[in-house]
Amino acid sequence: MVYSLTYRRPRHVEPKRGSIASEKTGQSIGGSTLNHSQDTAINYGIPEALSFDRIIDGGTCPPCTTRDFMNYLIYIEHAAENLQFFLWYKDYTKRFDQLSENERKLAPVWTAEQAEAQTLAMKDSPAPMKIISAGTAALFKGTDFAAPKATVVEMGRGNPFNTPPMTPENAERDSLAPSEYPWSDSGSTLRSGFKASDAADIKLQPFTVQPFREEISRIIATYIADGAPRQLNLSSKERAALLHALAMTTHPSAFRQVIHTVEWTLRHQAHQNFIRWTICNGNRPRVIFARGLGIVGIVGGIVAAILIVLSNAGRGWRVLSAIGFMIGIATLIAAWKGMCVVLHGMHHRHLRPWELFAEDDDASSVMEMKKGSFDSFGNSNSYEDQPWIAKYDKRNLIRKVFDREVWIQEPALRQIQDTIFLQALLGSVILTAICVGIFVALPNGRFY
């Protein structure tokens, strides 16, 4: 079973932020708005079986699972923090709704009116004045970049190699409330959240009894604070508005604006690019190799047709060149869409580079790596130090072309690939008929 012959795989979507805030007509998980009226246009080429909600809810098979989606965002798109934050927020909303009514009352709802008022207040507030050193001011003196005198301060000439005195580890820990001085499970402090609050002229409520206050502080330190290990791509106004809302309440509605931005990016950019990438059943060396074979087949068909035309053979023999044209054009069309027809004939795909060495690596390190990407409070998503990178770089080109294969378990993905393969065959038949017809119409050369 295949889809329509007019099927087109999802187009690649470049990151864009300017239109996110204005496209608000639908409803999403956190009360944020999403434009579902454009879903069919934006997500064209993605069947319902591979929808974003289906993948997140675990209703798909490899290579289209949530784990595969996470790996794609880590290794290919380098934006896994969006999915990590989204999964945490989804779980956080569920846990917050399970609290007793008295506990939920401690964290009031952050209404849309309050968020709008905060946005207007931030627009009316003057921009913070930048402070520069006297040396920098002297450098630009007399130019268009000269700074006002009020912004120039004298900077001390301290030794940059001096090590500042260490802060006592336990001197103040016992005197601070958990909500004011949060600690991670590993015992390390999370001061980034408070630095972000100070930068936005916001102070968290001390000794708060609101539920999940410590967890919110850790979220600020992990995703919101400037320089956080998994910092979300938020504007300064979005970050300041979120910190102000979180200073007032721990209710999930405080994340309304931010979760809208994150969810929009996941649904209409990352998900679409993920499906497009997953359709490719071969790695890049294999796809380039397939394209080369397609070109060789086409050239072989042209050479065979020319040789027959220049001979004394009848016109009927020229049809034999259709074999080269047919195979070459079909292979080239499929490879141009990222598919290898040989792998498709067995419904196989190449293992990804990070999957190839999973069995060779230590089992504990592999489990730690997998757990880390789904850990809401893990470290940064950097993977440069993972062992598979050096191992894969050492593989020669031939081994990469003929890498290990695995069967594609997801039926919807196999149907998409079947459709693309059928389109390649039909296109090959049409183009082959045209090419062979041209050679058949030529007169005999009778050179031999």
CB of 91 within 8 A of CB of 57? no
Where residue 354 falls among pLDDT bands split at 50, 70, 90? Answer: very high
Residue 324 neighbours by CB under 8 Å, 6+ apart: 297, 298, 299, 300, 301, 302, 304
164 preceded by cis ω (within 30°)?
Answer: no
Rounded average pLDDT over 150-171:
48
Task: State whether residue 219 is helix, strand or coil.
Answer: helix
Rounded average pLDDT over 277-302:
95
pLDDT at 68: 96
Q: Which of 80-84, 172-176, 189-193, 400-404 has the lowest mean pLDDT?
A: 172-176
CB of 232 within 8 A of CB of 224? yes
* Euclidean distance between CA atoms 129 and 148, whole angstroms: 10
CB of 55 within 8 A of CB of 309? no
* Euclidean distance between CA atoms 193 and 218, whole angstroms: 7
* Euclidean distance between CA atoms 269 and 13, whole angstroms: 6
* Euclidean distance between CA atoms 139 and 437, whole angstroms: 75
Vertex 184: Cα angle to 182 and 189 (nearest 5): 60
pLDDT at 145: 59
Where residue 302 falls among pLDDT bands split at 50, 70, 90? Answer: very high
Tell the residue number behind the tokens 């490879």, with chain if given: 335
Where residue 293 falls among pLDDT bands split at 50, 70, 90? Answer: very high
pLDDT at 312: 85
Roughly what angle, to the nearest 10 degrees, separates helices 236-248 and 112-124? 130
Using alpha carbons, list the distances in angstroms from residue 45 to 12, 68, 283, 339: 11, 19, 21, 16
Would the pLDDT of 19 be above 60?
no
Q: Which of 184-193, 368-377, 429-438 has the lowest mean pLDDT?
A: 184-193
pLDDT at 23: 46
pLDDT at 109: 92
Q: How far is CA 81 from the centre of its chain?
A: 9
**329 CB neighbour count, 10 Å cutoff:** 23
CB of 99 within 8 A of CB of 230? no
What average pLDDT is seen over the chain?
80
Q: What is the pTM for the complete model shown? A: 0.76
Rounded average pLDDT over 245-273:
93
Of the spans 27-36, 40-49, 180-189, 301-310, which averages the highest pLDDT? 301-310
* C-beta pairs of 315-319 under 8 Å, 24+ apart in sequence: 315/440, 315/444, 318/436, 318/439, 318/440, 319/436, 319/440
Rounded average pLDDT over 148-159:
51
**Higher confidence at residue 244 or residue 120?**
244
- Determine the residue type at 60: T
Tell the residue number behind the tokens 């730690």, with chain if given: 368
- H-state helical runs in 127-229: 134-139, 192-199, 213-219
Side-chain half-sphere of 259: how many Cα atoms within 13 Å? 20
Number of residues that this document lists for the chain: 448
**Higher confidence at residue 445 or residue 428?**
428
Phi, psi of 96 (to 5 degrees): -65, -40
